[in-house]
Structure 1
Amino acid sequence: MGNRLLDRLRLMQAELTYIRQDIHAHPETAMKEVRTAVLVATKLKQWGITVTEGVGSMGVVGTLESKVPSNRSIGLRADMDALEIIEKNNVSYVSTIFGIMHACGHDGHTTMLLGAAKYLAENRDSFSGTVYFIFQPAEEKIGGAVAMIKDKLFDRFPMDAVYALHNGPRLPVGEFAIRSGPMMAADDTCVVTFRGTGGHGAVPHLAADVTVLLAEFILSLQTIVSRNIAPTDAAVIKFRVGGTARSFTKDVRDTIERRMKELAHGLATSFGGTAEVIFNREGIPVVNDVRFTERAIRAAESLVRAKNVYGNMPQIMAAEDFAEMLERKPGALMFIGNGNQSGELHSPTYNFNDDALIFGVGFWVSLVQQELHHDLRVSAL
């Protein structure tokens, strides 16, 4: 099925490329995706898809029912927001908004889901059930997933499972990668404030020097990962004036917070000062359901063959707020190859690879046709 489907999707390449580059040229940051949301809603309506706007403030949900009635359903999610980065790409569709660009490929995510919506709308007899196309705002910050969930996303659009795609710059175009269980990290931020007493440089022994205290604290932070976290667990702590902590499990997360506070207060006391520690748990880890990871793998393999699908990719320390949806619904997040041609994610030269568009559309179509197959029994879900 894969080659035949990709051949059909290649007929959409020019249209998809135009949409993607138009979105790239007009980036919008979290909860300001006005133009993008209008573009998405307009396209969906043109293709005969029922549209609900303003979900979670700026989110858009398209509802597509098959010709053959069924009570089965699936949710497909893409994010729409851009980043506050000055673009350095030399392309005809460079960002028209200074200081804002699509440096994480969300322009591609949105376009791939639009392409799938168009194809499935033109082929309603190729599946049996309901597809919800979820276009989410504010993935990078502010919490767009939570906003849509609080706006009763899963009550208003009852789906059996939810899936997402994210582009991967180190993965070749035409390849996919995923793993079951924890795949992307929880994202925590911390701010530590030390207070001491001032004094004259000639009598340093009469002061509580927070400069030396801060230096000691930064060095001591490195012992949390090396001495307090099991070697089989992964964690990262990065600290400047404030810091971030990344982890995959609740136990590791708790340990980092506890030890950070113990070190700060203990060192402050030894230097004759005080410490205040604010530890904010910003996001939870992406945890892919084992069964639904296998289903995502099967859909990808049907499109590009098994040798191009990696089912046990390494965990990565990046965070994704699609985790909030996975905490409430079974599903999985899959990585799609973007090719390493434009640097890393969140860099001023990053650019989604238009050659990857049809593979993303193809994955979505394959997944829907697999999960909402005419002969599939409800109990299989």
Structure 2
Amino acid sequence: MNAVSYFQTHHEEMTAWRHYLHSKPGLLFDVQDAADFVVQKLRNFGVDEIAQEVGQTGVVAIIKGKPGGPAYRIGLRADMDALPIHERNEFAHRSEVAGKMHACGHDGHTTMLLGAARYLAETRAFHGEVALIFQPAEEGGVGAKAMLDDGLMERFSIGEVYGLHNRPGLPLGTFATRPRELMASADIFQIEIEGVGAHAARPHLGVDPVLVASHIHTALQSIVSRVADPLENVVVSVTQIHAGKADNVIPQTAIMRGTVRCLQSTIRARAEAHLRQIATGIAASMGAVATVDYRPIVPVTENMPEHADYAIQAARAVVGPDKASLEGPLNMGGEDFSYMLQQRPGAHIFIGQGDTNGLHHPEYDFNDAIIPLGCAYWVSLVERRCAPASPFGATIDAPQRHLGQIRGLQQPRGQRGRV
């Protein structure tokens, strides 16, 4: 029985796992229910090692194959956490926790990696060893970095690492990725504007921070239109403005919050510098004072080209060459898997969820139809990458080679060749 047939046979059981995980969501590092479920299943599967509380509540499992594979372990990562969203679905497996739901499909990601774990532990039809990484706090808590800070790569001898995420709108059961940049960096900012409060009928006696905020909001879009190279991808979004509590009072202060997303590291630092300059300069010109708190959250998710090719070849072995593209869509969403790709070579890939509600929607639900394909993709990647007789199995000094490749990718996009 091949991998796809195996997972189709176990599809109903794995769907039940996914529904259980969906019904018990946890936020950030508070994913103990999911972590306990993962550990219980891994023990039943007979994996060789299980480490808990990696990066607070993360789980890492080791499965050993045949001797003669790479001189390091292949890391496969799935995220476990949910979102602070009130679920509007009414199906039987809806969230049991008010105000929390799996609106990004991490329940499905965990299920697919668990399915692959069972198959790999049963068959051991690969060479070398595999590290299965179940991560907390992808949604804003930077759980990937917490696991890295806890020695993830060094403790478990991981030489390269791969991630998988569902994507609504991508045709059902297809795969897509890209070499180099795939997903954007994600930074957040807060601008506090100190003006002079006054009676709303006598605005000339005050300095209106709401007016200042309006001018700053408009001017920040010049970062996109006049600071960034037209070939660079950047988004600046002001998502909150808070000021005042009365209709007849010009408030003393206003607070703006938002996010900056970039697909090239070269524009990321410039965007921050110009945001600070615009906010403080406009505020000063209008008699107010602006204080900027700018916080980088995650870097650009940047695949290594050869590892993106490994990933897409593994996907093509499952779904065929016409359903796995190395020219997938760019995504301005952020992903903390980017921190793992900064430490080790690897790639992130999307699996098509079909025409469903989008990620972070209160009526989103992971499409169970893709569970067998996601499991089979992981198995395909491991068996190909860890096969000494194939070109995928070459032993390399992964960290050193990775650093050399990263240095080669740091030139600005415009210098990489134009058509």
- Taking structure 2 as the reference length, the TM-score comes to 0.87
Are residues 1:243 and 2:258 paired?
A: yes
Which residue matches 2:336?
Answer: 321
Match of 1:349 among 363, 376, 390: 363
Which residue matches 2:120?
Answer: 120
**Identity, % of aligned pairs?**
39
Q: How does 1:156-235 map to 2 (within 5 A)?
A: 156-235=155-234
Which residue matches 2:405?
Answer: none
Which residue matches 1:48?
Answer: 46
Which residue matches 1:20?
Answer: 18
Match of 1:286 among 298, 301, 322: 301
Are residues 1:300 and 2:338 paired?
A: no
Contact 2:153 2:159 in 1 (8 A): no
Which residue matches 2:248?
Answer: none
Farther off after superposition, 169-178 or 322-331: 169-178
Deviations 1:186-210 (A, max 9, x none): 1111111111223344543332222
Shift of 1:251: 2.3
Q: Which runs of 5+ in 1 are unaligned?
A: none
Partner SS for 1:312: coil
C-alpha distance in 2 between matches for 1:18 and 1:204: 62
Partner SS for 2:132: strand
Q: 1:303 to 1:201 in 2, by over 3 A?
A: closer
Farther off after superposition, 358-367 or 258-267: 258-267
Which residue matches 2:275?
Answer: 260
User: What is the number of equivalent residue pairs in this alignment?
Assistant: 377
C-alpha distance in 1 between matches for 2:148 and 2:345: 14
Q: 1:362 to 1:197 in 2, by over 3 A?
A: same
Shift of 1:378: 3.5
C-alpha distance in 2 between matches for 1:243 and 1:40: 35
Partner SS for 1:161: strand
Partner SS for 1:78: strand
Q: 1:305 to 1:272 in 2, by over 3 A?
A: same
Q: How does 1:97-116 map to 2 (within 5 A)?
A: 97-116=97-116
Contact 2:142 2:297 in 1 (8 A): no
Deviations 1:329-371 (A, max 9, x none): 0000000011122x11001001001110000001000000000
Tell me how large the CA RMSD over aligned residues is: 1.5
C-alpha distance in 1 between matches for 2:200 and 2:169: 52
Which residue matches 2:408?
Answer: none
Which residue matches 2:251?
Answer: none
Which residue matches 1:310?
Answer: 325
Q: Which runs of 5+ in 2 are unaligned?
A: 242-256, 399-419
Contact 1:127 1:374 in 2 (8 A): no
Contact 1:72 1:372 in 2 (8 A): no
